[in-house]
A and B are shown apart, each in its own frame.
Chain A
Amino acid sequence: MTLRLLLPPLPAIPPVAVPREVRRMVRLTYLTALTTFFGYILLIAFGVLRDLVRKLLDWFKSDDLKGYAPICPPFEDFYTRRIYHRIQDCFGRPIASAADAWIDVVERHSNDNDKTLRRTSNTSRCLNLGSYNYLGFAAGDRYCTPRVVESLKKYASGTCSARADAGTTKLHIELEELVARFVGKPAAITFGMGYVTNSSIIPALVGEEGLIVSDSFNHNSIINGARASGATVQVFRHNSPSHLEEVLREQIVKGQPGAHTPWKKILVIVEGIYSMEGEFCKLPEIVAICKKYKAYVYLDEAHSIGAVGKSGRGVCELLGVDPADVDIMMGTFTKSFGSCGGYIAASEEIIQHLKHGCPAHLYATSMSPPAVQQAISAIKVVLGEDGSNRGAKKLARIRESSNYFRSELKKMGFVVLGDNDSPVMAIMLYNLAKLPAFSRACLRQNVAVVIVGYPATPVLLARARICISASHTREDLIKGLKVISEVGGLVGAKCLPAEPEKAKKMD
């Protein structure tokens, strides 16, 4: 009985099952899975031991909570305290410059074993392979920046009001018309933040008697929006049109839970590029299935708008899908256009309905006018309406750079996820210990990479994610490849056989 009081409550076991298709795609062998598992168990065991010691030491300390339950129960943040804090220095690295191809990473040091990190005034210039700067608009641009400064002086930095009150300026109307024209839909509506766009639009479209079928790898904002709507949510296997068809058939026949009345409407939500894998969604097949079963399609193009497609119009252009077949197209201005905010493009009636009833439009502060101007100017550059062909050049450059980088990484023997033409790619590391080793070793050689582990990815599939930008030159990419090859070799991430050097020399 006393032993039970001594032992701290164990953390929740995260789901470790990896579906077969995903295992094949990421080349997860049994040996890798076992060693990764072993690593986790060791870390958890040490964490539990340390918690036990802490509990014993605090046994006789007075309880200063005095009748309140702790604001954060010990098992809820076990992962944060015992596992994440060991590698805290790899995340949240502050920078002291624009998020361009080269950034000034601020050095941090710690006095208490990485529990808290303090900024120093030293910075180191690093190659930036982590920011979402696909078209290179993050830093100043010779067309955009003067116009942004002009709009700042005319409209000030904020409107202090919701769009439905006094927050609509001429710039907002211009941006909405431009976005609708760019994407190929009749009308559009913009919001100040991409996350809020998803969380407040989905409840306005589907209510409690509807069904939402969403891809298993969808982003947190979509999950929150689906939950807030009160509709029933079903998940289909990642990027699997056949499983989507199965789920739709089963659900239409079954109807609503309880009374089995038919569903009022069904909304299928997919993303253009899945940012953790770098692969495109199988849009033509999914749209065909949704047409057959009369479900509505919601496409989230946060990462793909402006970055893929011949003229930058996203996955619809790339995969040959008519925008009229997709009911709702959502996107953000943060990644490719160097601004902030999100938009929804759909038919006139849907946009009218959203303007009347969507909470973000009625209550949330409208987008800051300089950010609106940046989005307008960036889209004009991409369309070529600024009088130059810089937009087309940027699109060609990002396509070439991503394909070059990915093929070189594959040649070196890394397991790389990501489709052709996608500016996002992931290098599989699997093992939790390899993540900080990779990140710190790259930083020492002045390359800034992003590592992701649980809970953003499945437990056994930790990876390093690379985002290519149109502002990376060929020399930058070669330097990045050299450093990654060296560090990857040290860390043991080259799981596949490399292409032999001799074959390359003979060409």
Chain B
Amino acid sequence: MASAVMNMTTAALDWVSVAFDAPLARAVVFGVHIDGHLVVEVLLIAVILFQLTRKSYKPPKKPLTEKEIDDLCEEWVPEPLHPSISEDMKAEPPTLESAAGPHTIIDGKEVVNFASANYLGLIGNEKIIDSCVSSLEKYGVGSCGPRGFYGTIDVHLDCEERIAKFMGTPDSILYSYGISTIFSVIPAFCKKGDIIVADEGVHWGVQNGLHLSRSTIVYFKHNDMKSLENTLEKLTRGNKQAEKIRRYIVVEAVYQNSGQIAPLDEIIQLKEKYHFRVILDESHSFGVLGNSGRGLAEYYGVPVEKIDIITAGMGNALATDGGFCTGSVRVVDHQRLSSSGYVFSASLPPYLASAAISAVNYLEGNPSVLTSLRSNIALLCKGEFCDKLHNAFAGLSDVPGLTIASHPLSPIVFLKLKKSTGSSKGDLELLNNIADRMLKEDSVFIVSTKRSVLDKCRLPVGIRLFVSAGHSESDIQKVSDSLRRVAATTLAEHL
């Protein structure tokens, strides 16, 4: 038995040695005589190299015990809810003690007010106050419910009809707060997978709406039509899919962050060429631009049907609160169920809706208020007015250290520093200094740009003056003299 096994093993070993030695026994490569054992060694090295390239095997983690979880929870320390508060964060804005008209009272003193967007001078208007009083006595203050659940009051429906009639569109829808209008409208029409091309200078409300819509957002250079055209070209070139998804261009009529005005005629041409829809935010142009105040479309002579969706906050020219959106019947109807700021929020207080109706009636009945506003803006920017003493008045065109960056027709006159300090924070410090000094020393109230940490806009900061039709020529002269004097001294080292 043992010998049989021995015989078999010897036979096997012989066979193996023959197999190894046989073919290579006579191989001579590069003058090296190859033995069979080299094959085994080469194979071993190959196996080792192969194993080194594989991922290492991790044994599965044991689930943590309750005690270990408890310990981890004990160890974890959260950050505080607020960052550390620095001195400049504690600054409080001035408190008004009367209505925010062209003249207002701050700290017991009367000041000239260029900080309220009261473009048509309607704050304190008798007719509007009377309509508000009768509304308050009939309906109370709040509407106590969302639009779907007995919060729709007949004044809301009247207001929607009035605005649609004024704008020349089939229908409109009312929102209860200005800033929530745009960030509810955009997500109602743009969902994941759609393409939106937006201006990089849009304000926070628009940015929030774009973020909530989860669509693909592409920004183009601020108010630059060449950049817009290139972006549109890039997005649609050779892209067959682009025809099946919804595409939008989002712009503001008058940009809050810079005072520029969007060139609507060029935008409409581009929109028709590349088949995009336009969403236009007219918060600062409704009641300001155009011969009768109907906004950007009237100013450029573009038929209002070409703009797909128009939104506007009523907290500026109309001196009330809330917002509206107008467009075709399909556009407006869709929002009544799918716009979150409309469905899930209480409706606009009825007295503010009556105030809006009275304001639109006033605007339609007195188009001369627009001419006064336009002449005030021109006066402030360019001057060329000789007062009783024949002194030439240059307006804001030659303020030392500051330059006008807004459009000549924009009701927001935007001045930015000729030479920036290098950081937004440094610029804002200088500008806030100027504004504080003007209020304290000359009783003139203006404001600088406010930028939230959540705001993505990177346009330069500046000083904003809101011109009103209610300002007199002496007010305008006072503000430009004061600005010139204070800027000269504050920016002296900086110039």
- 16 A–B contact pairs at CB < 8 A? A67-B275, A98-B138, A158-B319, A158-B355, A168-B96, A193-B177, A196-B177, A337-B142, A339-B349, A349-B85, A356-B89, A357-B453, A363-B256, A365-B179, A365-B313, A365-B315
Q: Which of B64, B141, B348 contacts A374 (CB 8 A)?
A: B141
Q: Which residues of B contact A154 (CB under 8 A)?
A: 98-99
Q: Which of B113, B330, B452 contacts A71 (CB 8 A)?
A: B330
Q: Does A77 contact B (CB under 8 A)?
A: yes
Q: Does B45 contact A (CB under 8 A)?
A: no
B119 to chain A, nearest CB (A): 8
Q: Which residues of B contact A327 (CB under 8 A)?
A: 81
* With A69-B244, A228-B212, A450-B150: A340-B319 Cβ-Cβ less than 8 Å: no
Q: Does A440 contact B (CB under 8 A)?
A: no
Q: Which residues of B contact A92 (CB under 8 A)?
A: 147-148, 152, 336
Q: Which of B72, B203, B346 contacts A194 (CB 8 A)?
A: B346
B300-332, CB < 8 A from A = 308, 313, 315-316, 319-321, 330-331
Q: Indicate if the CB atoms of A368 and B150 lie closer than 8 Å.
A: no
Known pairs A130-B149, A155-B98, A204-B453 / 18 extra A-B pairs, C-beta < 8 Å: A97-B138, A152-B129, A158-B355, A159-B116, A160-B117, A164-B450, A249-B73, A253-B69, A264-B78, A339-B141, A350-B82, A363-B256, A365-B178, A365-B179, A365-B321, A370-B136, A371-B142, A448-B150
Least CB separation from A84: chain B residue: B337
Q: Which residues of A contact B78 (CB under 8 A)?
A: 263-266, 294-296
Q: Which residues of A contact B141 (CB under 8 A)?
A: 137, 144, 148, 338-340, 370-371, 374
Q: Which of A192, A193, A338 contacts B144 (CB 8 A)?
A: A338
Q: With A and B bound together, what is the CA distance between A350 and B83 in angstroms?
A: 9
Q: Which residues of B contact A33 (CB under 8 A)?
A: none
Q: Which residues of B contact A138 (CB under 8 A)?
A: 140, 142, 144
Q: Indicate if the CB atoms of A253 and B208 lie closer than 8 Å.
A: no
Q: Which of B85, B123, B452 contacts A158 (CB 8 A)?
A: B123
Binary flags per residue of A196-218, CB closer than 8 Å to B gives 1, else 0: 10011001110000000000000
Q: Indicate if the CB atoms of A96 and B153 lie closer than 8 Å.
A: yes
Comparing A219-227, A305-313, A423-431, A493-501, the segment that makes contact with chain B is A219-227
Summed over the interface, the residue pairs from A and B with CB atoms below 8 Å come to a total of: 337
Q: Which residues of B contact A133 (CB under 8 A)?
A: 144
Q: Indicate if the CB atoms of B176 and A340 lie closer than 8 Å.
A: yes
Q: Which residues of B contact A203 (CB under 8 A)?
A: 454
Q: Which of B73, B320, B321 contacts A293 (CB 8 A)?
A: B73
Q: Which of B76, B132, B348 contacts A252 (CB 8 A)?
A: B76
Q: Which of A160, A196, A249, A328 contacts B180 (CB 8 A)?
A: A196
Q: Which residues of A contact B454 (CB under 8 A)?
A: 203-204, 357, 359
Most buried by A among B154, B203, B316, B340: B154
Q: Does A43 contact B (CB under 8 A)?
A: no
Q: Does B115 contact A (CB under 8 A)?
A: yes
Q: Does A139 contact B (CB under 8 A)?
A: yes
Q: Does B243 contact A (CB under 8 A)?
A: yes
Interface of B is mostly: loop
B192-238, CB < 8 A from A = 203-205, 208, 211-212
Q: Which of B77, B132, B152, B183 contacts A157 (CB 8 A)?
A: B132
Q: Which residues of A contact B178 (CB under 8 A)?
A: 364-365
Binary flags per residue of A23-46, CB closer than 8 Å to B gives 1, else 0: 000000000000000000000000
Q: Does A99 contact B (CB under 8 A)?
A: yes
B130 to chain A, nearest CB (A): 10
Q: Indicate if the CB atoms of B345 and A157 lie closer than 8 Å.
A: no
Count of interface residues, chain A, beta-carbon cutoff 8 Å: 119
Q: Does A149 contact B (CB under 8 A)?
A: yes
Q: Indicate if the CB atoms of A161 and B95 lie closer than 8 Å.
A: no
B377-414, CB < 8 A from A = none
Q: With A and B bound together, what is the CA distance between A214 and B73 in angstroms?
A: 19
Q: Indicate if the CB atoms of B96 and A157 lie closer than 8 Å.
A: no
Q: Which residues of B contact A194 (CB under 8 A)?
A: 345-346
Q: Does A401 contact B (CB under 8 A)?
A: no
Q: Which residues of A contact B452 (CB under 8 A)?
A: 204, 357-359, 362-363
Q: Which residues of B contact A242 (CB under 8 A)?
A: none
Count of interface residues, chain B, beta-carbon cutoff 8 Å: 112
Q: With A and B bound together, what is the CA distance between A294 and B77 in angstroms?
A: 7
Q: Does A481 contact B (CB under 8 A)?
A: no
Q: Does B101 contact A (CB under 8 A)?
A: yes
Q: Indicate if the CB atoms of B72 and A131 lie closer than 8 Å.
A: no
The interface of chain A, by Cβ under 8 A from chain B, is: 66-72, 76-77, 80, 84, 91-100, 103, 105-106, 119, 128, 130-133, 137-141, 144-145, 148-149, 152-170, 173, 192-196, 199-200, 203-205, 219-221, 224, 227-228, 248-249, 252-253, 262-267, 293-296, 327-328, 332-335, 337-340, 349-350, 352-353, 355-360, 362-365, 368, 370-371, 374, 448, 450
Q: Indicate if the CB atoms of B64 and A253 lie closer than 8 Å.
A: yes
B104-133, CB < 8 A from A = 104, 113, 115-118, 123-124, 128-129, 132-133
Q: Which residues of B contact A106 (CB under 8 A)?
A: 154
Q: With A and B bound together, what is the CA distance between A219 and B146 in angstroms?
A: 13
Q: Which residues of A contact B148 (CB under 8 A)?
A: 91-92
Complex A-B, nearest 8 residue pairs according to Cβ-Cβ distance, in ascending order:
A365-B315, A166-B115, A353-B82, A193-B177, A156-B99, A99-B144, A195-B345, A364-B179
Q: Which residues of B contact A204 (CB under 8 A)?
A: 452-454
Q: Indicate if the CB atoms of A221 and B116 lie closer than 8 Å.
A: no
Q: Indicate if the CB atoms of A153 and B129 lie closer than 8 Å.
A: yes
Q: Which of A170, A248, A339, A365 contacts B96 (CB 8 A)?
A: A170
Q: With A and B bound together, what is the CA distance between A154 and B100 in angstroms?
A: 10
Q: With A and B bound together, what is the CA distance between A252 and B79 in angstroms?
A: 14
Q: Which residues of B contact A149 (CB under 8 A)?
A: 133, 136-137
Q: Indicate if the CB atoms of A169 and B116 lie closer than 8 Å.
A: no
Q: Indicate if the CB atoms of A221 and B345 lie closer than 8 Å.
A: yes
Q: Indicate if the CB atoms of B211 and A450 lie closer than 8 Å.
A: no
Q: With A and B bound together, what is the CA distance between A267 and B123 in angstroms?
A: 42
* With A139-B140, A338-B140: A169-B96 Cβ-Cβ less than 8 Å: yes
Q: Which residues of A contact B15 (CB under 8 A)?
A: none
Q: Which residues of A contact B179 (CB under 8 A)?
A: 196, 360, 363-365
Q: Indicate if the CB atoms of A370 and B351 lie closer than 8 Å.
A: yes
* With A294-B78, A359-B452, A359-B455: A220-B340 Cβ-Cβ less than 8 Å: yes
Least CB separation from A250: chain B residue: B69
Q: Indicate if the CB atoms of A334 and B144 lie closer than 8 Å.
A: yes
Q: With A and B bound together, what is the CA distance between A359 and B77 in angstroms?
A: 28
* With A152-B132, A158-B123, A374-B142: A72-B211 Cβ-Cβ less than 8 Å: no
Q: Indicate if the CB atoms of A173 and B95 lie closer than 8 Å.
A: yes
Q: Indicate if the CB atoms of B189 and A221 lie closer than 8 Å.
A: no
Q: Which of A139, A162, A252, A353 contacts B450 (CB 8 A)?
A: A162
Q: Indicate if the CB atoms of A352 and B150 lie closer than 8 Å.
A: no
Q: Indicate if the CB atoms of B211 and A94 lie closer than 8 Å.
A: no
Q: Does B169 contact A (CB under 8 A)?
A: no
B329-384, CB < 8 A from A = 330-331, 334, 336-338, 340-341, 343-346, 348-349, 351-352, 355
Q: Does B415 contact A (CB under 8 A)?
A: no
Q: With A and B bound together, what is the CA distance between A141 and B138 in angstroms?
A: 11
Q: With A and B bound together, what is the CA distance between A338 and B132 in angstroms?
A: 16
A8 to chain B, nearest CB (A): 16
Q: Indicate if the CB atoms of A192 and B117 lie closer than 8 Å.
A: no
* With A195-B180, A350-B82: A119-B154 Cβ-Cβ less than 8 Å: yes
Q: Indicate if the CB atoms of B79 and A265 lie closer than 8 Å.
A: yes
Q: Which residues of B contact A148 (CB under 8 A)?
A: 136, 141
Least CB separation from B99: chain A residue: A156
Binary flags per residue of B54-65, CB closer than 8 Å to A gives 1, else 0: 000000000010
Q: Which residues of A contact B255 (CB under 8 A)?
A: none
Q: With A and B bound together, what is the CA distance between A95 and B151 in angstroms?
A: 8
Binary flags per residue of B145-175, CB closer than 8 Å to A gives 1, else 0: 1011111111011000000000000000000
Q: With A and B bound together, what is the CA distance between A158 and B93 in angstroms?
A: 17
Q: Indicate if the CB atoms of B94 and A340 lie closer than 8 Å.
A: no
Q: Does B286 contact A (CB under 8 A)?
A: no
Q: With A and B bound together, what is the CA distance between A335 and B157 in angstroms?
A: 22
